[in-house]
Amino acid sequence: MSNQGNNTQCYQESLDNGVSRMWAKILSYLPEWPIWGQAFLLFLIPILYMKGYQWLRSSLKKGTFSNKDQQNQDASTNSSSNGESGNYANIRLTGDYAKDLISVKATFGQNSDVRIREFTITGTNTPAAVIFVEGLVDHDRLDTHIFTPLMIRGVPDTERAIFEEPRDENELKAYVKSSLLPVGELQEAETLQQAAQAVLTGKNALFIEGVASALLVGSAKGKSRSLEEPVSEALLRGPRIGFTERLSDNTGILRQFGGNNELFMTKHQVGARVKRDLVIAYIADIANVDLVTEVERRVQNLDMDIMLESGYVEQLIEDDELSPFQQIQNTERPDRVVSGLLEGRVAILLDGTPFALIVPSTFSMLLQSPEDYYERWIPGTFLRMLRFLAATIALLAPALYISFISFHPGLIPTKLALTIIQTRQGVPFPSVIEALIMETSIEILREAGIRLPKPIGPAMGIVGGLIIGDAAVQAGIVSPFLVIVVAVTAISSFSIPTYSAGITLRILRFVGMFSAAIYGLFGVVMFFLLLCSHLVRLKSFGVPYVTPAVPYSLSDWKDFFIRAPLGMMRKRPSMMHPKDPDRKK
């Protein structure tokens, strides 16, 4: 009986030992705790990124104004919706010359460049005054179109009764506008604020006794440069003309390039304190009505003191201000604007800047050049595919170098690995540090080359890069192989036609490098997937940013990675939902 018990006990012990060895064997195949921690972080980082992104988006939408501040802001917006704000916003012109002139002098009392020229209209006893800003008006036009008709030719005796005993104000004003002022551009200002704003932007304000408004004559002379080739978008083949800082010149250039009776241009004024003219251009029988309406709505909701450059407008009307990718294309080239209009897009031109905006924009547009269409389709396709390859290299090359050298050297071919090991002998830093040193140096040299004068900048960039690279290798700080990687990356980023897109890839390159330094090749893959998920979610005025890739549109692939022959591109991009989808009948 005791032997049977001992046998049972031995069997139980052996069974327990077998189970223990089995679990020990299973656990030996499981990763160690640090690897579990990395896997957990790999799972947690995308969640934290999305939650933080959503929180920032909601915070920006809600704003930081209190209810009182928001009420004040709404009141200010309402009061300035008609262009009236400031201390004289509610003062209306009365038609009493003496009273209105006192108000005008009080308004412009501190402005030494404002001139007030008082006179009497010849043939009558009616006093009048012209207010203008020295340096903004053309004195020859002022003498020819205002002083000569009113002070020299004057009013005939047969019409003098209109000034002495007018039936009403409208009769007097209508006569002055139709018979005394030989000008093409004539507007009216019924309040003192409107008149002051017009004078300070270069118009001549005419005040006449008995007329309860100021007649705004002519437009600003201003200073404008001649038409030149766009510096930021140079081409070997194509028009050698770009926009200027004057809006009237730009709209004229656009009319010249896109002469079409369906090309509509609607003018708006933006800026709460300093008004700037803004033009929205589109081809009425092509552009989608919903797109035009949305652009006008966003432009009308702009609320800042001044729009100094179209970059202000771009940042305030884009869909996602937290995205590193630009969702609105800017260009100095009128041929690119006309091409966008013919695809059903909308252009925005702002006075004071040569850069026009094109909406909506997609990622593929940033890697396209007008020269693609001026050359035959085979060279155009080759150059476009080369740019896509260059963008990939500019984004991922340093990150792949770090991941292969630090984490996955076994994936490198043996001979190449031996060469890299030999070149890295004596380098005291890990691959991520030496890559950061070189990339940061290149970025500083690039920025310095842009800011320096033109004769010095390019030479300084080339010589500085050669000297720093050679000195770093000789000092043993970086390896020669890394210098090659950084040089190829920098050259690839120069091939991107749009400067803003190049900046985006340069910023994301550092993010990819840090991801590779933490997780190796898995970090690079995670970084690329997060980037793809962001691009898929991104939209520009309702158009998916990576279309026609996602959502897939086969017809639009004729002008995506490849540039099909012009004879095959019979349809406009379907993503724009144009009224007229056919390019040629």
pLDDT tens-digit profile of 28-37? Answer: 766 666 766 7
Q: What is the pLDDT of residue 552?
A: 83
Q: What is the mean pLDDT of residues 355-364?
A: 93
- Please state, rounded to an integer, the average pLDDT across all residues of the chain: 83
Which of 432-436, 523-527, 567-571 comes out lowest in average pLDDT? Answer: 567-571
pLDDT tens-digit profile of 208-253? Answer: 888 888 899 876 665 667 788 888 888 888 888 889 988 888 998 9
Q: What is the mean pLDDT of residues 353-378?
A: 91
Q: What is the pLDDT of residue 62?
A: 53
pLDDT at 133 over 70: yes
Closest C-alpha among 210, 163, 264, 287 to residue 541: 287
410 and 425 in contact (C-beta within 8 Å)?
no
What span, in angstroms and rounded, lies between the C-alpha atoms of 383 and 316?
33
Q: What is the pLDDT of residue 231?
A: 81
* pTM strictly above 0.95: no
Q: What is the mean pLDDT of residues 95-124?
A: 85
Q: What is the DSSP letter of 559?
A: B
pLDDT at 384 over 60: yes
pLDDT at 1 over 70: no
Which of 159-173, 203-217, 497-511 comes out lowest in average pLDDT? Answer: 159-173
Which residue did the predictor score with more confidence, 91 or 464? 91
pLDDT bracket for residue 80 (50, 70, 90): very low
pLDDT bracket for residue 86 (50, 70, 90): very low
pLDDT bracket for residue 85 (50, 70, 90): very low
Q: What is the mean pLDDT of residues 154-171?
A: 76
Q: What is the pLDDT of residue 524?
A: 93
331 and 358 in contact (C-beta within 8 Å)?
yes
Q: What is the pLDDT of residue 66?
A: 36
Q: What is the 3-state secondary structure (H, E, C) of 98-127?
A: HHHHHHHHHHCCCCCCEEEEEEECCCCCCE
What span, in angstroms and rounded, lies between the C-alpha atoms of 97 and 365?
57
Q: What is the pLDDT of residue 76?
A: 44
Among 3-12, 187-196, 443-452, the range of highest mean pLDDT: 187-196
Q: What is the 3-state secondary structure (H, E, C) of 364-428?
A: HHHHCCCHHHHCCHHHHHHHHHHHHHHHHHHHHHHHHHHHHHHCCHHHCCHHHHHHHHHHCCCCC
Closest C-alpha among 319, 282, 313 to residue 299: 313
Q: What is the pLDDT of residue 5?
A: 57
pLDDT at 382 over 90: yes
Which residue did the predictor score with more confidence, 43 or 423? 423
What span, in angstroms and rounded, lies between the C-alpha atoms of 519 and 541?
36
pLDDT bracket for residue 344 (50, 70, 90): very high
How many CA atoms lie less than 13 Å away from 234 in the CB half-sphere? 4
Using left for φ > 0, alpha for ψ between -120 and 50, and beta otherwise, residue 306 falls in beta
pLDDT at 296 over 90: yes
pLDDT at 309 over 50: yes
pLDDT at 557 over 90: no
Q: What are phi and psi of 91, to 5 degrees?
A: -85, 115
pLDDT bracket for residue 60 (50, 70, 90): low
Q: Which residues of 414-444 are buried (b: 16+ CB within 10 A; e: fewer)?
A: eeeeeebeebbeebeeebbebbbbbbebbbe
Q: What is the pLDDT of residue 332?
A: 92
